[in-house]
Chains A and B, each alone.
Chain A
Amino acid sequence: MTVNIIIVDDEHVIRSLLTDLLGDNGYEVTAVTNGKEAEDLFKEKSFRIAFLDVHMPVMNGVETLKMIRRVSPDTTVVMMDSFPDKLLNEAIDHGAITCIHKPFDIKEVTDIVERILKVK
C-alpha cells in the first residue's frame, strides 16, 4: 500500500521540490498552499505523514497541526520553518514529532520519512 503524504506550504518551490522528491521515492504526495485547503482534503481522506510549514497565511502551521490532530490523530506531523520562532515550540507541544529547517538537505527529508515509516 502506498504511503500518503501531504505537503502544506505557501511556498511554491518547496511544494514543488517535496512533491518531486518524495514522488521520486515512491510516495503518493499531495501538496496544498494552506491549512484551509488541507482541512478540506482531510475531510475526504487521511494521510500517513504531513509536512507543515510553520508560517502560512490564512491558517498557520500550529493551527493546521491542531486541526490534523483533531480530524486525523494517526497522521505523523513534521514541521518546517524558515526562521526560529516560538510557534515551533507550540507545534512540538501539540504533537509534531520534529522540525526541519529550511534550507534543508533532501536526505534529511527522506531520512525522516523512512524513520517514521520504520517506527510504525
Chain B
Amino acid sequence: MKNPVMAGRKGFGIAFKFTVTISALIILMSFSFGYFISKRQINSIMAEFQDRAETLITTLAYNCEFGVLSANEDILDKAVRAIEEQKGLEYVLIYDTDHNILAHGHSAGGGMDDNHEGIWGRHGLDTVNELVIFSTALTSKRSVIFTGKVSDSGISVYDISMPVKTVKTAEGPEALLGIPTAPQEAVEEVIGVARIGLSLTGVDELIKGTINSTLLITLALMLAGIVITIFLVRLILKPIRELALGTNKVAEGDVSYRVAITTGDEIGALASSFNNMTESLAKAKKLVDERTGELERTNTSLLKTNYELEKITKELKAAQAQLIQSSKMTAIGQLGAGVAHELNNPIGGILGYSQFMLTKIDKPEFSSEDFKTCRKYLEHIERESGRCKTIVENLLTFSRKSDIIEDIDIVKVIESTLTIIGHQMQLKNIKIEKDFGEGLANTSGVANKLQQVFTNMMLNAQHAMPDGGTLYLRARNLNGSDRAAKIAIEIEDTGMGISEENLERIFEPFFTTKQDWKGTGLGLAITYQIIESMKGKIDVKSAVGKGTKFTITLPAIS
C-alpha cells in the first residue's frame, strides 16, 4: 500500500503553496498600493504646477492690458521682465490680435527678436500649431493649456496662453485715460494674447523621484511581507511537519516516537491526541507481540508434540501390525488342538492304509481280489492326502503375513475357515447352518485378514456355546438404489449372549470375559480394525441367554 505521507511529498508542499499564494497577494497589493499613491502624488504635483502656471499667466495677462492697449513696448517689457526670473520659465510671449509679437523674453535672456520664425525656431515651436493655438487663445474666454513640444534643448515645456482683455466703453479709450464720460455699459474686448512656456524638467524630476521612492517603499514592503510570510508559514507548518514525521515513524513501526509539541493551540491538542494514540498503539503492539510470542511458543511446542505424536503413531501402527500377527498366532495356538485333530485323522488314515497295503503286497500270492482291495485303499489314501493338503493350504494362507489387496470371494473365505475349525465345531455339538445368497458380490481386501475375522468370530461363537448350539452363517447382497452396493455377512450363535454393559466394550482392546480361557482381549478389537480398514462396518446385537448376532457390512465391487 502506498504511504499517504510519502505520496503527499511528490507534489508541491503546503509551505510552498502558502508562500507563493500569499507572496503573490502581497506583490499584487503592494503594486496596487504603490500605483495609487504615486498616482495621487503625481496628480498633486501636476495640480500645483498648473496652479503656478495659471497664476503666472493670469498675472502676466493682467499686467499687459495697458501695455497692449497703448502699444507701449516699455510697459510690456517691464511686465515680461517681472516674471522672466520665475524658476523654470522658458519663454514669455505677448501678441496683439493680429499675431504680432509685441514683447517676448526667455530664460536664456536673449534680446528681442521681431522675426516670428526666429522666435519660434528658438523655442522649438511649430508654425502651424502656433496659429491654431493662437486663434484658440484669442477666441477662448479662458486660458488654454498646451503641453509643449520637446524643444531643441531636449526638455519638455508646459505651454499656456491667455487672452489679454480690456473693458471697453462707448466713449472709447478716453475712459482709460481718466476722462469722465457718461456711464456706459462695459464691454470686454480681447486685445491680445499672453503666453508662457514653463519647463517641465523640475516636475518630471519630482515625479520621477516620487515614483522611485514609492517603488522602493513598495519593494521593501513586499520583501518584508514575503519574508514574514515565509517565516510565518514555517512557524505554522513546523508542528504539522513534526506530526507528519511522527505519523511516518509510527507507520514504519516506531511506536515509541513522541511528537514534541507543547503549544496550547489546536496543533498542540492534535499532537497530544497523536501522542495518546501512539501510546495506545504501543500498548496494543506490546500486547500483540506478547501474544505472538506466546503463539509462536505454543506453535513450536505443538510442532514438537505433533512430531512426537507422529512418531508414536508410527510406533503404534508397527505395534498394531505386530499385534494382528501375534493375535493371529494366538488364534492358531487356539486352533492347535483342532488342527491336530483335523490333520491327525487323515494322516492316521493314510498311514494305516499304506501300512496295510504294504502287508498285502508283501504276501506271496497277490490275487485279483487283493488288487481290488489295494485300489480301494489307495483311493482312501488319495482322498485323505487331499484333505491334508487343503488344511495345510488354509493354515498357510491364514498365518501368512500378507498385504496384497485383491478381490475376495467371501463364501470361499468362509468355507476355507470352516475347513480349519468346522470339525472342531462339530465336536462341540455346534451345528452350522449356511445361507449364502445367489450371485454374491466380491469385496476388496486382504483375504487372510478377512479369514482372521471369520476365525475370530466363529471361535467366539464356539466359546459362547459350550453346550453346543447352532452357528448361522449368512451372506447376501445389499442392493441399494445407488451403485455402491454392499454385502452383509451375519454370524449368529445361539449361545449365552453378552450383557448390555459388556456389549459396549467388546470392541475395546484387552477387554475379555474369558478368565478361565486364555483370551487376549484382542480378537474383536483386531476384527473391528480389519473391517474398518476394508471400509466396512461391524454391528452387534445380543440377548443374554439367547445368543449374539454380528453383522459385517463390506463394500461390494462391481
Contacts and interface: CB of A to CB of B under 8 A. Distances in A.
B351 interface: yes
A57 to B, nearest CB: 5
B341 A17 contact: no
B106 to A, nearest CB: 172
Contact of B356 (A14, A20, A57, A58): A20
Interface string A83-102: 10100000000000000011
A82 B384 contact: no
B356 A102 contact: no
Given A13-B380, A17-B380, A55-B427, A102 B345 contact: yes
A21 B427 contact: no
B426 A16 contact: no
B345 A21 contact: no
Nearest to B384: A13
Contact of A83 (B341, B355, B426): B341
Prevailing SS type, chain B contact patch: helix
Nearest to B423: A10
Contacts of B429: 57-58
Interface in A16-39: 16-18, 20-21, 24
B253 interface: no
A85 B337 contact: yes
A13 B355 contact: no
B348 A103 contact: yes
A103 B350 contact: yes
Interface string B327-347: 000000000110011011111
A17 to B, nearest CB: 4
A114 interface: no
Nearest to B355: A106
Interface string B365-406: 000000001000100100110000000000000000000000
A106 B352 CA distance: 5
* Interface size band for A: 20 to 34
Contacts of B384: 13
Contact of B340 (A24, A82, A107): A82
Contacts of B353: 17, 20
A74 interface: no
A14 B427 CA distance: 16
Contacts of A16: 349, 380
A105 B428 CA distance: 28
A55 B344 CA distance: 12
A113 interface: no
Contact of B346 (A13, A24, A55, A83): A13
Contact of B341 (A82, A105, A106): A82
A14 B355 contact: no
A10 B341 CA distance: 11
Contacts of A57: 426-429
Contact of B336 (A10, A17, A83): A83
A107 B337 contact: no
Interface in A55-72: 55-58, 60
Contacts of A24: 356
A107 B355 CA distance: 9
B458 to A, nearest CB: 16
Nearest to A82: B344
B352 A104 contact: yes
Contact of A17 (B337, B349, B427, B428): B349
A110 to B, nearest CB: 10
Given A11-B345, A58-B429, A102-B345, A21 B352 contact: yes
Given A56-B427, A82-B344, A106-B356, A14 B349 contact: yes
A106 B359 CA distance: 10
A11 B384 CA distance: 11
Given A21-B356, A58-B429, A82 B348 contact: yes
A55 B351 contact: no
Contacts of A11: 345, 348-349
Contacts of A109: 352
Given A55-B427, A83-B336, A13 B341 contact: no
When A and B form their complex, which 4 residue pairs have the shortest distance between CB atoms, in order from nearest? A13-B349, A83-B340, A103-B348, A82-B344
5 contacts: A16-B380, A21-B356, A57-B426, A83-B341, A102-B348
Interface of A: 10-11, 13-14, 16-18, 20-21, 24, 55-58, 60, 82-83, 85, 101-107, 109
Given A20-B377, A56-B427, A105-B355, 12 more contacts: A10-B427, A11-B348, A14-B345, A14-B349, A16-B349, A17-B380, A18-B352, A20-B353, A55-B427, A104-B348, A106-B356, A109-B352
